[in-house]
A and B are shown apart, each in its own frame.
Chain A
Amino acid sequence: MSEAEAADARRIAAEARGRVRFEEEALDLADQVYRVARRLVGSREEAEELVQETYIRAFRSWSSFTPGTNLRAWLFRILTNLNVDRGRKIQRTPDMQPLEEGDYFLANKIAAAEGEQVLDQERVVEKLSQDNVVSALSEVPHDFRDVVVLVDIGDFSYADAAQILDVPIGTVMSRLHRGRRILKQKLAEESLA
C-alpha cells in the first residue's frame, strides 16, 4: 500500500468511527427528543413519526454536525423545521393570540377560591391534575408553546432555543414569558371552571 493509500485508509477509518459515535450519541438522546416532541404535537403517533423523520434526516446529514457542539440542540433544529414543514403554520394567524393575564394570575385565582391566608405551594398539586397540565399546554398557541416546551420541559437555554427556532433571543424571551402566562390562564380555566 502506498503512503497516499494508507493515509486515505486512515481517513476513511476515522470518518467511519466518527459516524458510529455520532449515531450512538444521537440514539442515546432518543428518549429526551421524544419527550419534547410529544408536547410539540397533538398525538403520540405524530410524535413518533416526527422523531423517526428527524432521525432519518439526522443519520443522512450526520457530516454537517460539528463534533463537540450541542447534538441535542442540533437534533431539535431538524425536528422543529420538519414540524413546521408538516404544515402546522396554517393553524394559527397572528392576530388570534389571546391576551394573557399577569404572572400571579393562577396563584391569585387559587388563593381567591381558598382564602388568601392558605395559599401555599402545595396548592399547585392539590388543585391541578396532570391531565389539566397536558390539556392546558396543548391549548397554548404554537409559537408560544414551542418555546415553553423547549425551555421548561426540554431544559434548553434561551440561546439554544433561539438557535433551534431560528429566532432572536429577545423573541425567545418574550414568547416564553407570554407563553407561560397563557399557560397559567389555560390552567385556571381548566382547573377552576
Chain B
Amino acid sequence: MTQHDPGCEKCEELLQGYLDRDLAPDEVVVAEGHLDRCDYCRRRYRFEERLRRYIRLSATERMPAGLLQKLTELRDGRPAL
C-alpha cells in the first residue's frame, strides 16, 4: 500500500516515541499536524496502540498456583538474623 504524503515517512519514524510520550514538543507538533490531515497514518497509529495493548494482554500469564507458597517457604527457611 503506498503512502499518501511525503510526511508519512517522518510520521512513521515518530510513531514509537509518540506512543511512548518520549518526543520533544516540536516533534509532537510535527506528528499531530500530520495525523490531523493523514488518514493513512492515523489508522496506523491507532492500529499500533491497539497492537501494544493486545501484545500485553496476550503475553501475560499468571503465576502458577503454588509458586507463591514455594517463595514463602524460601523466606521462612532463610537463616535467622
> Considering only CB atoms and an 8 Å cut-off, how many residues of chain A contact the other chain?
53
A28-39 to B contact mask, C-beta < 8 Å, 1/0: 001100110011
B63-81 to A contact mask, C-beta < 8 Å, 1/0: 1100110111011001001
Contact B61 A35 (CB under 8 A): yes
Q: Which DSSP category, helix, strand, loop or mixed, fits chain B's interface?
A: helix
Contact A27 B68 (CB under 8 A): yes
Given A116-B1, A121-B47: A27 and B78 interface contact (C-beta under 8 Å): no
Given A34-B63, A112-B1, A124-B51: A52 and B71 interface contact (C-beta under 8 Å): yes
> Considering only CB atoms and an 8 Å cut-off, how many residues of chain B contact the other chain?
37
Assess whether A60 is interfacial by the CB under 8 Å rule: yes
Assess whether B37 is interfacial by the CB under 8 Å rule: no
Q: A173: nearest residue on chain B (CB-CB)?
A: B22
Assess whether A107 is interfacial by the CB under 8 Å rule: yes
Residues on A with beta carbons closer than 8 Å to the beta carbon of B61: 34-35, 38, 44
Q: B73 → chain A, closest Cβ, in Å?
A: 10
Assess whether A59 is interfacial by the CB under 8 Å rule: yes
Contact B58 A134 (CB under 8 A): yes
* CA–CA, A111 and B48, complex, Å: 13
Residues on B with beta carbons closer than 8 Å to the beta carbon of A139: none
Q: A121: nearest residue on chain B (CB-CB)?
A: B50
Pick the contact of A152 from B50, B55, B64, B78 — CB < 8 Å? B55
Assess whether B24 is interfacial by the CB under 8 Å rule: no
* CA–CA, A15 and B71, complex, Å: 21
Contact B22 A158 (CB under 8 A): yes
Given A119-B43, A121-B50, A137-B59: A12 and B71 interface contact (C-beta under 8 Å): no
Assess whether A125 is interfacial by the CB under 8 Å rule: yes
Assess whether A133 is interfacial by the CB under 8 Å rule: yes
Q: A42 → chain B, closest Cβ, in Å?
A: 13
* CA–CA, A185 and B78, complex, Å: 46
Contact A30 B51 (CB under 8 A): no
Pick the contact of B71 from A30, A104, A153 — CB < 8 Å? A30
